[in-house]
Structure 1
Amino acid sequence: MTMNNIHFVKMKNTKSLSLTGDYCYLNCKHCNKHYLKNMATLKDIDNLSNMSSILLSGGMNNEIKVPVYNFVDKLKEYKNKYNFKYNLHTGFMNYSELEKIKDISDAISFDLVGNKETMMNVYGVDKYKDMWSTFDDLINLGFNVKPHITIGLNGGKLTHEKDAINILKDYKIDEIIFLVFIPTKGSFFENENPPKIEDVVDIFNFAKHNIHDVKLTLGCMHPKGIYRKELQEKLLGIADKIVQPVQNTIDLAKKLNYNITWSYECCVF
Structure 2
Amino acid sequence: MSAWSEILEAVEPLEDLAFDVGLVERLAASEGALPGIHFYTPTFKSYASSEIRDCGRSAWPAISITGGDCKLNCDHCKAKILEPMIPARSPEELWRAVNGVVEQGAGGMLLTGGSNHRNEVEYDRYYPTIRRIKDEFPQFRIAMHTALVDDAIAGRMADAGIDAAMMDVIGAQDTITQVYHLRRAVDDFERALEALTKTSMKVVPHIVVGLHYGQLLGEWNALEIVARHKPSALVLVVVMPTYAGELRPFATPDPHEVGQFFGDARTVLPDVPLLLGCARPAGSVKSLIDAYAVMAGVDGMAHPSDGMVELAARLERPVRVTPACCSIAVGDEVMAMSGSDSGLEIDLDEIVRHERERRAARKRQSVFGEIKVMGGEERSGCCGT
Contact 1:31–1:187, Cα closer than 8 Å, also in 2: no
Change beyond 3 A, Cα 1:60–1:229: same
Q: How does 1:81-92 map to 2 (within 5 A)?
A: 81-82=136-137, 83-92=139-148
Q: Partner letter of residue 311 of structure 2?
A: L
Return the structure number with greater strand share. 1
Answering whether residue 267 of structure 2 is matched by residue 244 of structure 1, we say no
Paired with 1:155 and 1:101, the residues of 2 have a C-alpha distance of: 32
Larger-Rg structure: 2
Which is further off, 48-57 or 127-136? 127-136
Answering whether residue 268 of structure 2 is matched by residue 210 of structure 1, we say yes
Change beyond 3 A, Cα 1:189–1:178: farther
Alignment match of 2:158 (pick from 80, 87, 102)? 102
Please list every run of 5 or more consecutive structure 2 residues that lacks an aligned counterpart in the other structure. 1-31, 43-54, 323-327, 336-385
Task: Measure how far apart 1:55 and its partner are.
Answer: 0.7
Q: Partner letter of residue 99 of structure 2?
A: D
1:36 aligns to what? Answer: 82
TM-score, normalization by structure 2: 0.64
Alignment match of 1:60 (pick from 105, 111, 115)? 115
Q: Counterpart of 2:111 in 1: which secondary structure?
A: strand
Identity across matched positions, percent:
25
Paired with 2:247 and 2:283, the residues of 1 have a C-alpha distance of: 19
Paired with 1:260 and 1:69, the residues of 2 have a C-alpha distance of: 42
Which is further off, 179-188 or 105-114? 179-188
Return the structure number with greater helix share. 2
Paired with 1:22 and 1:156, the residues of 2 have a C-alpha distance of: 24
Change beyond 3 A, Cα 1:150–1:3: closer
Q: How does 1:1-269 map to 2 (within 5 A)?
A: 4-10=35-41, 12=55, 13-42=59-88, 43=93, 44-49=97-102, 50-82=105-137, 83-103=139-159, 104-128=161-185, 129-185=187-243, 187=245, 191-238=249-296, 239-262=298-321, 264-265=328-329, 266=331, 267-269=333-335
Contact 1:15–1:53, Cα closer than 8 Å, also in 2: yes
Cα deviation code 1:172-230 (max 9, x no counterpart): 23422111000023546774222111111110111222333222211122123333233
Contact 1:30–1:183, Cα closer than 8 Å, also in 2: yes
Change beyond 3 A, Cα 1:41–1:176: same
Q: Partner letter of residue 193 of structure 1?
A: A
Question: Number of matched residues?
Answer: 269
Cα deviation code 1:25-75 (max 9, x no counterpart): 102111110101111123433332211110111100234211223212222
Task: Calculate the aligned-residue CA RMSD, in Å.
Answer: 2.4
Contact 2:70–2:114, Cα closer than 8 Å, also in 1: yes
Task: Measure how far apart 1:236 and its partner are.
Answer: 1.2
TM-score, normalization by structure 1: 0.89
Paired with 2:306 and 2:319, the residues of 1 have a C-alpha distance of: 13
